[in-house]
Structure 1
Amino acid sequence: MADGFEEGLYGRPVCVAGLGVSGPPVARSLLDCGAEVTVVDGRDDAASREAAEALRAAGARVVLGSDALPEGAGLVVTSPGWRPDAPLLTAAAAAGVEVIGDVELAWRLRPDEQVWLAVTGTNGKTTTVRMLEAMLRADGRDALAVGNVGTPVVEAVRPRPDGSVPQVLAVELSSFQLHWSSSLRPHAAAVLNVAPDHLDWHGGFDAYAEAKGRIYARGTVRVANTADEHSVRLAEQGDPHTPLVGFGPGTPRPGELGVVEDLLVDRAFVDDPVHTAEELAALGDVRPAAPHQVANALAAAALARAVGAAPKAVREGLAAFGPEPHRIAPVATVDGVLYVDDSKATNAHAAGASLAAYERVVWIAGGLLKGAEVDGLVRSAAPRLRAAVLLGRDRAELRRALAEHAPGVDVVEVAETGEDAMDRVVAEARALAREGDTVLLAPAAASMDMFANYNVRGDRFAEAVRRLPA
């Protein structure tokens, strides 16, 4: 715990900016520390009013429909999604008021004995921290995955009813959270991959990558993806006095984890990395054994080994791990065609990893591209594509890329946006597929033009597949 930080919160006026996912648990934790909490949110809808009433009952002041800095605030804790140029945050900066995020607050409140293992990347974060949690628990550790996996990080550093806290946290970190973190020093950290995303928030790719690289703080064991040039570059820019451990799809060199035939192998956390290696698991223990899923497993294994987890705990953890919904999840096989839901593939990098897992694909794609470039994705996927079914607002950009880079691929556009749209999409995909093909929902785009979120999009796809006549 930062020296005296919690004690210094007692009676201190603190502003919590945002009443979204992180705002309420941050406000409650600050109230527990005795702070005078004011929560500010520009929204004033039914959901916000309901959340506001619960916080007022707990002792917070809540101001809805405003983005003004409360008078006298001595600290601002912002929700990750608030941009640095938001009026409240710029006002705080002008007034010399420190602005931190929920992760930075949690780090300052954590007990000294708690170990943090951190994961960031454009894709694969949630899967990796859940794999890591399973490996650590198989090793007998009191471990908890936190972040976008159910438990807010700020709650995981506060005492449980019995007074204990988790021994090890597997912490999923977004680029937003890292931007607002200044003193974070995890024991070990991994950057899984870096591809263009959230560029509007950060102002460009370099700033986005720089935020990811902040995870490699002074004293942090650096775990880097040898197959991703940006991950390697960021790790090399980290603290040169700490170990740099690589992971990748090929035979590992000394100091790396990798794959030898059908085995996941460690040549980093062994007594003699030059002459010896440790078997951790088999490829068959990774479900599904798609290349990006194997990479996630190797990253999780590296972080678990960084705190001394036994090799058998890696295998047992993978055996206990179940993939999250809508992440390269098989739905059904109909007439010899496999239908797979990867609705979570909301950007080109994620969709490319998903497409690479299958030999022959009828690709369902489209939605909100948010200005992202898709030519590289289509060019690399073209040899695997039998056909494509496009939906959503930005489908024309995907059609253009397919016409240019995969001119022999049949393309069908579905213009409908109503309740039955996904049934039409799946029916068109079935008509294009042949026995042995995979119909893959990997949209490379956000969902909000047609669906509430990617979960709803994936659910609609699965439901439509299950309604197909046998």
Structure 2
Amino acid sequence: MTDWQGKNVTVAGLGVSGVPAAKVLHGLGARVTVVNDGDDERARAQAEKLQALGIAVRLGDGDSLPDGTELIVTAPGWKPDKALFRAAEKADVPVWGDVELAWRLRDHGGRTPAPWLAVTGTNGKTTTVQMLASILKAAGLRTAAVGNIGVSLLDAVLGEETYDVLAVELSSYQLHWAPSLRAHSAAVLNLAPDHLDWHGSMEAYAADKGRIYEGNRIACVYNAADKATEDLVREADVEEGCRAIGFTLGTPAPSQLGVVDGILVDRAFVPNRQKNAQELAEVADIRPPAPHNIANALAAAALARAYGVPAAAVREGLRAFTPDAHRIAHVADLDGVAYVDDSKATNTHAAQASLASYESIVWIAGGLAKGATFDELVAGAAGRLRGVVLIGADRGLIRDALARHAPEVPVVDLDRTDTGAMLQAVQEAKRLARAGDTVLLAPACASMDMFVNYNQRGDAFAAAVRELAAR
């Protein structure tokens, strides 16, 4: 659509994407109706503000398709099997997400649209996009980290500030609802089971992740250690001349970025890549220098190099980057034991990477499993575990996996899901730990059984560690 005047558009959801989408569409002249499942105090407050602008809102009625709807713009988290979307399919009404809307509006008003360098993956998306933005800024480019990272893409493409290029984080939900997205270059960092309750199967989840490669112009960046990401590149329909670029923690082959003797090197965007390589940065420039974070840096560097960024800016950008809280964050050292907060490890794949970063671990784990199983994770980490402290609603799944694959490892099972359980968990971890160990909060589960989000969970861990230190 280019002429929005008088178009009947239904916006599904009153969340962080739905409200801006409704306002933008109303401003373009569309007749907007917002539908929302909830009818709580927060929803009513949001509805009142939108209704004051002339936007219709239906609370507690997220399944019915309003009469005359010509387009649905949905919040990314609304599941594809929802009755609203079944009705839309029957009525031949297209469904877009906020990312699709932003993509379609990026040249609105005669703007010159900024190219998108896009990142997805089960884990590492936010860190990689932030690294990429830091590198692009170091190259003197006007850029922003946007998308699933908290900055609205609609604001980025329609706001007063203009950009040379955007670093875009995209979730599988967002990609599902973005059929026409065509990035300059894109990366899939890794693939592991996650959100299967939403997608229905691993195959559907992977297919939605793979949408990020469709129509890429310059580079499809994949993880050489994760064949599933390379398979997605092979299956993608890209523009002629688009290249497959791998990243690896080992020595890179031609058309790859990798690591040689502690140096990040580029054998993809150099003349005569069969024989030549370009030094980009040192492993010591990356914080923290954990293996999965080095992989994130290589993916960010690959996308930046695909955009033509010089090697010096890669080094400068990585050195300037500071990771967000709750991502392998060192909290304190007590009696020779390191306490590390990786509350962001909300699934087994993230926890696996975290556990692989340390040699001797007292592991604090548990929460909401989201349909995950833990046998592979526990079997792989068994040799590193000094002890385990379990918390949360689905801790029994991890306890059973430990009994099968690490029966000799001491386990403390805390039968409580209140927020105060974290202090007891840290106390029990301290009792199990010895000098040289790492007490690692890497829950492998979501947090909402005990905490508002993973941030609050990590804050509780850090507060508990500080309380122990003060004693």
Counting aligned pairs with the same residue, the percent is 59
Aligned to 1:110: 106
Question: 1:209-238, CA deviations, whole angstroms, 9 ceiling, x for partnerless residues?
Answer: 011111111244210000111111111212
Q: Distance in 2 between matches of 1:334 and 1:416?
A: 26
Shift of residue 468 of structure 1? Answer: 0.3
Aligned to 2:94: 98
Shift of residue 181 of structure 1? Answer: 1.2
Aligned to 2:304: 304
Aligned to 2:386: 386
1:273 equivalent to 2:273? Answer yes
Aligned to 2:467: 467
Checking the alignment, whether the CA contact within 8 Å between 1:118 and 1:171 is kept in structure 2 is yes
Checking the alignment, whether the CA contact within 8 Å between 1:389 and 1:412 is kept in structure 2 is yes
For residues 104 and 131 of structure 1, do their structure 2 counterparts lie closer, same or farther at Cα, with a shift above 3 Å needed? same
Aligned to 1:178: 175
CA RMSD, 1 decimal: 1.2
Question: 1:286-318, CA deviations, whole angstroms, 9 ceiling, x for partnerless residues?
Answer: 100001100000000000111101111111111
Shift of residue 61 of structure 1? Answer: 1.3
Shift of residue 113 of structure 1? Answer: 3.2
Q: Which moved more, 1:34-43 or 1:51-60?
A: 51-60
Checking the alignment, whether the CA contact within 8 Å between 2:189 and 2:296 is kept in structure 1 is yes
Aligned to 1:88: 84
Shift of residue 16 of structure 1? Answer: 0.4
Q: Which 5+ residue runs of structure 2 have no aligned equivalent?
A: none
1:78 equivalent to 2:105? Answer no
Question: 1:378-423, CA deviations, whole angstroms, 9 ceiling, x for partnerless residues?
Answer: 0000111110000111111111111111111111111122342111
Checking the alignment, whether the CA contact within 8 Å between 2:134 and 2:321 is kept in structure 1 is yes
SS of residue in 1 equivalent to 2:57: strand
Q: Which moved more, 1:82-91 or 1:292-301?
A: 82-91
Checking the alignment, whether the CA contact within 8 Å between 2:328 and 2:354 is kept in structure 1 is yes
Q: Distance in 1 between matches of 2:52 and 2:279?
A: 54
1:34 equivalent to 2:29? Answer yes
Q: TM-score, normalised by structure 2?
A: 0.96
Q: Which 5+ residue runs of structure 1 have no aligned equivalent?
A: none
Question: 1:360-381, CA deviations, whole angstroms, 9 ceiling, x for partnerless residues?
Answer: 1000000111221100000000
Aligned to 1:189: 186
Aligned to 1:142: 142
Aligned to 2:442: 442
Q: Distance in 2 between matches of 1:177 and 1:369?
A: 22
Residue type at the aligned position of 1:231: T
The 5 Å alignment of 1:246-265 reads 246-265=246-265
1:47 equivalent to 2:42? Answer yes
1:213 equivalent to 2:210? Answer yes
Aligned to 2:166: 169
Checking the alignment, whether the CA contact within 8 Å between 1:222 and 1:238 is kept in structure 2 is no
Aligned to 2:51: 56
Q: Distance in 1 between matches of 2:337 and 2:216?
A: 50
Aligned to 2:234: 236
Checking the alignment, whether the CA contact within 8 Å between 1:29 and 1:155 is kept in structure 2 is no
Shift of residue 319 of structure 1? Answer: 1.4
Aligned to 1:415: 415
1:14 equivalent to 2:9? Answer yes
Residue type at the aligned position of 1:301: A
Shift of residue 155 of structure 1? Answer: 1.4
Shift of residue 52 of structure 1? Answer: 1.4
Shift of residue 324 of structure 1? Answer: 1.0
Q: Which moved more, 1:302-311 or 1:50-59?
A: 50-59
Q: Distance in 1 between matches of 2:273 and 2:250?
A: 16
Aligned to 2:365: 365
> Aligned pairs, how many?
462
SS of residue in 2 equivalent to 1:281: strand
Checking the alignment, whether the CA contact within 8 Å between 1:18 and 1:78 is kept in structure 2 is yes
Checking the alignment, whether the CA contact within 8 Å between 2:35 and 2:57 is kept in structure 1 is yes
